Amino acid sequence: MAILEVKKLGSEVLRSKAQKVPKVTKRIVKLTKDMLETMYATDGVGLAAPQIGENLRVIVVDPGDGPLALINPEIIQAQGSEVDVEGCLSLPGVLGYVERFSDLIVEYLDERGKPQRIEASGLLARILQHEIDHLDGILFIDKASGISGLAELQAKLGLAEDQQ
């Protein structure tokens, strides 16, 4: 396993729509393991493949009760609403309030390529939505209010506002 570089704001892959994984292979399984190791090493609770430069529909999450790898995740049902603060490994030091669904059902493939379904609420639901957004080129700042730290990060990375 390897700790991979997390792409930062301004990286083109973060704004691209990720491609569906046609088949779960040993390479994809290794990718999920590397993503989990990277997520833990950076104190994250979720990580999407585009964040490490892979334009694939793969995410890993761990809200505190064990890791989960989801390949080709798709929200099939969502309801309720709650607002909470979010951050992102690709936008270090940036925080904002994001309204998300409070309850959802997600279908995905597991690391054996078997179809699975998960019902999520609370923190897990929030993490899943945040990471699935990454697969569609959406960053949490696109949906957030009360954003703090963005101007500082843009200055640090040498980005203009239109390079987000």
pLDDT band (50, 70, 90) for residue 24: very high
- Domain 12-157 indexed as CATH 3.40.190.10: no
Backbone angles phi, psi at 38, to 5 degrees: -65, -45
Those residues with Cβ within 8 angstroms of residue 26's Cβ, 6 or more apart along the chain or in another chain:
none
pTM given for the model: 0.95
Q: What is the pLDDT of residues 80-130, one digit of tens each?
A: 999 999 999 999 999 999 999 999 999 999 999 999 999 999 999 999 999
Q: Which residues are catalytic?
A: 131
- H helices of the chain, in order, are 26-41, 122-135, 150-157
- H helices of 42-148, in order, are 122-135
Q: 126: burial class by Cβ within 10 Å (0-12, 13-18, 19+)?
A: buried
55 three-class SS:
coil
